[in-house]
Amino acid sequence: MAIKFQYNKTSLQQLEKQLKVRVRTLPIIKNKESALRLEVKRCKTEALELEKRLEVQIQTYEAMFALWNEFDASLIKVKDVHLGVRKIAGVRVPLLEDVDFEIRPFSLFCSPKWYADGIHLLKGLAQTAVEREFTLAKLGLLEHARKKTTQKVNLFEKVQIPGYQDALRKIKRFMEDEENLSKSSQKILKSIQEKRKEAEV
């Protein structure tokens, strides 16, 4: 990215201002990036734990597979999922607060004894599955924000700050050269005038 500038004091001041802003902002962005990186790592660990818990619950479910043919799956369904929003390092992520289930009434006398356990098992399975989905959604958002922040850090650190420093250096050199040229031309002019005066005398 080429920084546009002119060889004058106004441009010099504007570039100095821009450079100061970036130098001051860089540590803040780096802190945000490290906080997001930490949160992404924590979220990945949480997702893996939920994945393992879900697998264990599914294996428990499969242990009673023969009985599940008799089970009426319409007895339980997810009614509502309560969401919240939490800010992590400036990024809004969904927060799972609660999952409501709707359990249809059934006869305790006419249905098998294990129906209550089956409902409890399915409830746990659905809860874990919903938690896992939310954790993955949160992970996606955090990962995206972390990538964007890393790009910004790299842009500031490797492109913009060195670019502004280089532009400032060029302007300062140009202005110094211009000043030296004007001084030397004044000296030359002065020496020519002195020679004329001497020639007249």
Model confidence band, residue 78 (pLDDT cutoffs 50, 70, 90) = confident
pLDDT of residue 146: 94
What is the DSSP annotation of 14-62?
A: HHHHHHHHHHHHHHHHHHHHHHHHHHHHHHHHHHHHHHHHHHHHHHHHH
Task: Give the pLDDT of residue 33.
Answer: 93
Q: What is the mean pLDDT of residues 155-174?
A: 90
pTM above 0.85, yes or no: no
- pLDDT for residue 28: 93
Return the minimum-mean-pLDDT range out of 24-28, 88-92, 158-162.
88-92
Contacts 24+ apart (CB under 8 A), 98-105: 99/126, 99/127, 99/130, 101/76, 101/77, 101/126, 102/76, 102/77, 102/78, 103/75, 103/76, 104/74, 104/75, 104/76
Q: How confident is the model at residue 83 (pLDDT cuts 50, 70, 90)?
A: confident
Mean per-residue pLDDT, 133-148? 92
Residue pLDDT, tens place only, 93-138: 888 888 888 888 877 667 767 677 777 888 888 888 889 998 998 9
